[in-house]
Amino acid sequence: MTGRPFSARYDVILIGAGHNGLVTAGYLGKAGYRVLVLEAREILGGAATTEEIFPGFRADTGSFDAGGFLPQVVAELSLRKHGLRFVETPVVAFAPQPDGRALTLWREPGKSLAEIEQFSREDAEKFPQFQSQVQRMTEALRRMMTLTPPPLSSYHARDLLPWLRAAVDVRRMGRQGLMDFLRVLPMPVADFLDEWFENPVYKGILGSLGVRGTMAGPRSPGTALLFLYGVQGAAAKQSRSSRFVRGGMLQLAEALARAAHEHGVEIRTGCRISQVCTHAGRATGVLLDNGEEILARVVVSNASPRHTFLDLVGPEQLEVRFVREVNNIRYRGSLARVILALDALPHFRAAASREVLTKEGTLLSGHTVLCPGLDYLERAYDAAKYGQISEHPVLDLSIPTMLDASFAPPGKHLMLINVQYAPYHLAEGDWDVEKGRLGRRVIDLLDEYAPGLQNLVLHQEVLSPVDLERRFGLPEGCIYHGQMALDQLLVMRPVPGYSQYRTPIQGLYLCGAGTHPGGGVTGAPGHNAAREILHDLRLRSHPV
């Protein structure tokens, strides 16, 4: 402990007002504990927020799809009462092709089936069976998302019983279903899709989900699992999620904040933390940059494991082996974001007519995916493997002004583009220079699909992986706080032996994307961490 006087006493201090941190705070406040949330930025939401990026234009600068957010969190924290509204568009994904054709996945499975049939009758025949298998597998994964991984050496019923129940549910898939489930998880997503389909167009749309935000190609092991993780938020018999927050992602954070405030949670922005205070191996509070020390029974970090342990706690407070394991967490960000302010709506050659495009809720209202196939996706990854920016990147974009005109001035539009691949570690050059070249490359590629788009660009902002690290605290620009690889999941996340949201420092917990089940706008890490913290707080004979 630093020995400085403290200004307040809390049950819990929570570091970071990202969506997982606010979920944890909401549950702890609802349980009657006095909670203080400290956020370094002046705005809530972390990497799921909305900012005025250009004059008159508001943009989701981080995540822009909330399809995976847990329904139970919405219900248990009464988020609809606090203003949260989701928008689900008729179109899930629009995939224009270089030859002028397009495949559109609709929320209505029958319409998607008709689209796939235009490219391959055989694929269309397999489509319903594929959707059913994916739905069974994602349901099994969804049950595991809200469970706490058991300790590696535990035989305690409290730790094992929930997983035994989940195992029983998985076993109900039948012998063949169980074997398929276990076989698919470690597979490359390309192999999984090749078993089902022949046409590259549909495989390109799905394959891009298996590598989103990760430094891996579609032929890399374990990407089938990431694909299944990515479609958990999809409705029944859909290939992927496409659900946005009315008014932008900041509205999710503000609804969570209002729910927390209702239960007495205090939230302070513009408070940068320099240190987690400890005494005799126990967290006692935090020290702010301005020298203020605030004490609490429990400290919870929504920051990445790297920042929490190496910067806020300090290696000298931890065992050498644990520090080594934290240093070995792979981040390797591979995603960049390009934000374009447009003078008008672009016209994609593959669209049936400009009239269709300009109607709210049609082709450009969901995701637009530029990924013509798995070979294209693998070649994009090939460049990234060697620290190069892909000449032909994969683009996953959204035009939020199709759903809500308030994002831009009247008649103008906003385009949010996730660019895969953009490696954090460049073999040559510096991201502060190279991001301009990436922005031009993205606009040139879009202009091939939507001629004249480059003439519509009023403003552009490129967020490289380095920018994502600086802006949101995402280590190496990794949107998951650690790669979602097989050796960094479940009991191995964030490191072996510490998968239950607890840490080697007594009274210090993690609740962010670096914990189980991982990244994405799900709220699951925050939900699960709250349960474990509440369990410990209530153990009067074994205080935290």
pLDDT tens per residue across span 287-332: 999 999 999 999 999 999 999 999 999 999 999 999 999 999 999 9
In what helix (H) or strand (E) does residue 288 lie, and over which residues does it extend? strand 282-288
Above pLDDT 90, what percent of the chain?
Answer: 79
Band (pLDDT 50/70/90 cuts) for residue 415 is very high
Q: What is the mean pLDDT of residues 171-176?
A: 72
pLDDT in tens, 516-541: 999 999 999 999 999 999 999 998 54
DSSP state of 151: P
Q: Compute the 3-state secondary structure of the chain and give helix, strand, coil in percent, each to the nearest 5.
A: 40, 20, 40
In what helix (H) or strand (E) does residue 334 lie, and over which residues does it extend? none
Residue in this structure with the two tokens 């699909």, named with its chain if needed: 449
Give the up-direction half-sphere exposure of residue 509: CA atoms within 13 A in the CB hemisphere: 31
Which tokens go with 9?
Answer: 């006493």
Q: How many helices (H) and strands (E) does the chain have?
A: 17, 18
pLDDT for 1: 40
Give SS3 for 491: helix
In angstroms, the CA 208 to CA 493 distance is 24
In angstroms, the CA 134 to CA 132 distance is 6
- Whether residue 454 has pLDDT greater than 60: yes
pLDDT in tens, 346-358: 999 887 554 555 5
Mean pLDDT of the chain: 91
pLDDT in tens, 82-120: 999 999 888 899 999 999 899 999 988 888 999 999 999
- Whether residue 281 has pLDDT greater than 80: yes
Give alpha helix (H) positions in 146-270.
157-171, 174-184, 189-194, 200-207, 223-230, 250-262
pLDDT for 159: 65
Counted residue by residue, the chain has a size of: 544
In angstroms, the CA 341 to CA 345 distance is 10
pLDDT for 232: 78
CB contact set of 66 (below 8 Å; sequence gap of 6+): 48, 86, 233, 243, 244, 245, 249, 252, 521
pLDDT for 539: 83
- Whether residue 359 has pLDDT greater than 70: no
Across 46-148, the runs of DSSP E, i.e. the strands, are: 50-54, 57-60, 86-88, 91-96, 102-106
- Whether residue 164 has pLDDT greater than 80: no
- Whether residue 155 has pLDDT greater than 60: no
pLDDT for 358: 52
- Whether residue 473 has pLDDT greater than 60: yes
For the chain, what is the largest distance between any 2 Cα atoms, rounded to a whole number of angstroms?
A: 73
In angstroms, the CA 31 to CA 117 distance is 52
In angstroms, the CA 425 to CA 430 distance is 9
Other Cβ atoms less than 10 A from the Cβ of 198: the count is 12
- Whether residue 263 has pLDDT greater than 90: yes
- Whether residue 222 has pLDDT greater than 60: yes
Which tokens go with 113?
Answer: 């089936």
pLDDT for 7: 46
Q: What is the mean pLDDT of residues 505-513?
A: 97
Band (pLDDT 50/70/90 cuts) for residue 151 is confident
Q: What is the pTM of this model?
A: 0.93
